[in-house]
Structure 1
Amino acid sequence: MTTHIISNLQELSNFEFEIPNLSLDHIKFDRPNSILLHEENSKIRNMLSIWFDPQIKEFKDKKVAYIGHIHVENEDILLKLINEAKAYIKNKGYNYVISPMDGSTWKKYRLVVDGDKTIPPFYLEPLTPDYFVKGFVDSGFKPISTYYSTLVTPSSESLAKIDEITANLAKYNITIDNIQNFLHDKQKFINDIYHLTINGFEGNYLYSPLSIQEFSVMYMPLLEKLDPKYFVVAVHEGKIIGYLLNYPNYNEMMTGKINTFVLKTLTVDSKYAGKKIGTLFYHMASKLALQDGFTNVIHSLMQEDNYSLKISHKMGAKNIRKYQVFGCDL
């Protein structure tokens, strides 16, 4: 087995890959600084990517690198690749590694560390093999951030809560709508959502900047795919000040019936904090689920200390999956 380390993404075309579901276009879009490739019998079957100097506000006293794009066949190879990557990163003068992280929290990150195995993975949920956790711990990593997804049965109690909050919002001329009335200019809509998302997410742990161009490439295809009625916005004097993004759990299509509705993400302009728009959005997800006959709602990927998890639990949701990001001193 031979290890190659490349820093020019064009060199990827020099290798033959035998990694299931690997997209080299996706790898290139994420722009890693270096890539470790394991070649065996003239084919690449295992790899990971490295990013240096992520633009994050945390760990200012350390020189940080990320490890992501981890594609390995088993735990032994995982340990070998991670240790090779750590040695390479340390040799470059860096002293702290965060993983798994495909360049930023805008991309794929987190390990699945625990959960209800009777509930299959939902659409767009990050997936990692069980042995990843042991491999990371054995190579010296420790958890630095924890997230949960929860499951709740939609209840008609949400309807009364929606009426209560919307009546109060009306006093401030804030209304709730879906995006249908804003799609006559999709690029403007994406631009407005981009600025709102940056405003809402910039305080998140391990946040890093994202350009409008990258945001458009990432979210325009999702916008095209999703049913507009599941994309809810809060509007003040014609301006979108918050949004709620939901979708059916398309992973259940193979069972013949989709029973689960997924609350993917929401954000509210910080100027409107305290008006319970976030709470309203959680209940709106239940209302939409009830209207279309979904029997379960998943509140996805909430950080452990985020208020959204408290709202979810207050609605009676139970934890179904636990995820973590790991860090390691070098």
Structure 2
Amino acid sequence: MRQESFKTDQAAITVFLDGPLWNGQPTATLGGFRSRNARSGQEVLSKAIGFARQQGVEQLIGPMEGDSWHSYRFITDTDGSPPFLMEPNNQAHELEVFMKAGFRQIGSYFSARVPLTPESTQRPMPSSEFKVEVWDGKDPEGMFGQVYDLSVNAFAENPFYKTISRNAFMSMYMPLVPLIRKELVLFARKPDGELTGFLFGIPNYSEAQTPKSVILKTYASMTKGAGRYLWREFHVIAARNGFQTAIHALIHDDNLSALRSIAEGARVFRRYGLFGLRIAQ
């Protein structure tokens, strides 16, 4: 991945030149943005935009670490509750720096939480189209390999999607293996055994040594009804394993997941945005 970083004593930013498409056109992305104050942030952002212009870039999106598989989005609104595991984080002035430079919001997302009550233990009706199973904890490399294969197909039409290599995917997720509880990784399989959906959950280790909340990190489905079943089964398993709250993490406002979160009675506690800028050449 072609990239260039700009740093001072008080700020840093990286330009990733091979970003995803935005409105069907190539972009570069801006990631790794950190600044102690607005002035230092404006300094490195100006250098990054100038560099992108010199490279012939006409569109920038950010914050994004090269693609949506890695960290992206600014927090735009919050109730002040502590960050959860793997959640994007930023200071308020960093968002303001982007806005003052002309960036405008092009994607909206939220995180919500829902109490896990006795009603959460009601399992959905079974289906003849697929069977849901819990990961057995064996062969994590094989497990994530299956997740990768399904993800590149299931997410291909998502906004700002860009394919990454299997090796890059594995290098991101294999370090998480010691943190995984196998009962929070679910698969949906067709009668012939073909994988048609998955759900990956993880305890919110940012909370405490023994977390009381659990994160629904990501899921995908290629068969109608499998996603809803995985979603519901996750709540059932989490409740029966002593978790008190489920966090529906980083959901796009226009995604079907948003409707499922509402149906579960979840309440939004954080909102996020992705921002774009068209550069005059």
Task: Place the TM-score, normalised by the shorter chain, in its bin.
Answer: over 0.9
- Give how far 1:163 is off: 3.4
Equivalent pair of 2:108/2:272 in contact (CA under 8 Å): yes
- 1:289-304 correspondence runs (5 A): 289-304=238-253
1:15 equivalent in structure 2:
none
1:258 equivalent in structure 2:
211
1:220 equivalent in structure 2:
174
For residues 8-47 of structure 1, what are the alpha-carbon distances to aligned partners after superposition, in whole Å with 9 as ceiling and x for unaligned?
xxxxxxxxxxxxxxxxxxxxxxx45211122xxxxx5422
- Give how far 1:231 is off: 0.7
- Residue of structure 1 aligned with 2:134, choices 178, 199, 205: 178
1:288 equivalent in structure 2:
237
Give the letter aligned to residue 131 of structure 2: T
- Give how far 1:299 is off: 0.3
Equivalent pair of 2:2/2:18 in contact (CA under 8 Å): no
Whole-Å Cα distance in 2 between the matches of residues 100 and 139 of structure 1? Answer: 13
- Residue of structure 2 aligned with 1:187, choices 128, 141, 146: 141
Does residue 149 (structure 1) correspond to residue 131 (structure 2)? The answer is no
TM-score by length of 2: 0.93
For residues 147-173 of structure 1, what are the alpha-carbon distances to aligned partners after superposition, in whole Å with 9 as ceiling and x for unaligned?
11011112333443x332x2xx1x23x
Whole-Å Cα distance in 2 between the matches of residues 262 and 187 of structure 1? Answer: 21
SS in 2 for 1:251: coil
- 1:59-98 correspondence runs (5 A): 59-61=23-25, 63-98=26-61
Cα distance change, pair 93–32 in 1 and its aligned pair in 2 (3 A): closer
SS in 1 for 2:188: strand
Equivalent pair of 1:285/1:297 in contact (CA under 8 Å): no
- Give how far 1:291 is off: 0.9
2:16 equivalent in structure 1:
51
Does residue 34 (structure 1) correspond to residue 4 (structure 2)? The answer is yes
Does residue 268 (structure 1) correspond to residue 221 (structure 2)? The answer is yes
- 1:98-109 correspondence runs (5 A): 98-109=61-72
1:131 equivalent in structure 2:
93
2:153 equivalent in structure 1:
199
Equivalent pair of 2:13/2:44 in contact (CA under 8 Å): yes
Equivalent pair of 1:32/1:49 in contact (CA under 8 Å): no
Give the letter aligned to residue 49 of structure 1: T
For residues 158-210 of structure 1, what are the alpha-carbon distances to aligned partners after superposition, in whole Å with 9 as ceiling and x for unaligned?
443x332x2xx1x23x21111107x2x44333222111111111111100011
Please say which structure displays the higher CA radius of gyration.
1
Structure 1 runs of 4+ aligned residues shifted over 4 Å read none
SS in 2 for 1:135: helix
Gaps of 5+ in 2: none
Does residue 241 (structure 1) correspond to residue 206 (structure 2)? The answer is no
Give the letter aligned to residue 219 of structure 1: Y
Whole-Å Cα distance in 1 between the matches of residues 250 and 231 of structure 2? Answer: 14
TM-score by length of 1: 0.80
- Give how far 1:64 is off: 2.0
SS in 1 for 2:200: strand
- Give how far 1:145 is off: 0.2
Give the letter aligned to residue 130 of structure 1: A
Equivalent pair of 1:235/1:241 in contact (CA under 8 Å): yes
- Give how far 1:55 is off: 4.2
Whole-Å Cα distance in 2 between the matches of residues 225 and 318 of structure 1? Answer: 26
Does residue 317 (structure 1) correspond to residue 266 (structure 2)? The answer is yes
- Give how far 1:54 is off: 2.1
SS in 1 for 2:187: strand
SS in 1 for 2:195: strand
The more displaced of 99-108 and 133-142 is: 133-142
Whole-Å Cα distance in 2 between the matches of residues 283 and 100 of structure 1? Answer: 32
Equivalent pair of 1:116/1:320 in contact (CA under 8 Å): yes
- Give how far 1:105 is off: 0.3
- Give how far 1:110 is off: 0.4
**Larger relative contact order, structure 1 or 2 (CA cutoff 8 Å, min sep 6):** 2
Give the letter aligned to residue 202 of structure 1: A
Give the letter aligned to residue 290 of structure 1: A
SS in 2 for 1:252: coil
Gaps of 5+ in 1: 1-30, 39-43
